[in-house]
Amino acid sequence: QLSGILWIYKKWLASEYLPLDIFMPYNQINKYFENYRIGPFILSIAMYDQLKMADKNVQLDILDSWISTNISAEILKYPQFMRALTIAIIIECLCKSFLLRLY
């Protein structure tokens, strides 16, 4: 097998943040979530992908729909899920803040 989670992350980072599902289908995130460090991070990248593609006014609706479709109910009970969601929101806010400073 050519890839693993670290390989996926490095490719995503090197790609200047192409959607994560190019490297790993979103429905595979559940399988990796049990890894305490990697799972929430991969989930946060996937959620960030959803936030960055959405219009600001509908981000919450799109993210909620994406989570319902791709993330198992069991994962929603883990504290790491909230960590992943928080990381995704912080990345989105930092990126938008950085872009605003450029203009």
Q: How far apart are alpha carbons 7 and 2 in whole angstroms?
A: 8
Q: Which residue has the tokens 């799109």?
A: 62
CA distances from 15 to 4, 55, 83 (A): 16, 22, 24
Buried/exposed code over 56-68 (b: 16+ C-beta within 10 A; e: otherwise): eeebeeebeebbe
Question: Whole-prediction pTM value?
Answer: 0.54
Residue where the block lists tokens 């993210």: 63
pLDDT digits (tens, 9 = 90+) for 2-45: 556 667 667 777 776 677 677 677 777 777 666 556 667 777 77
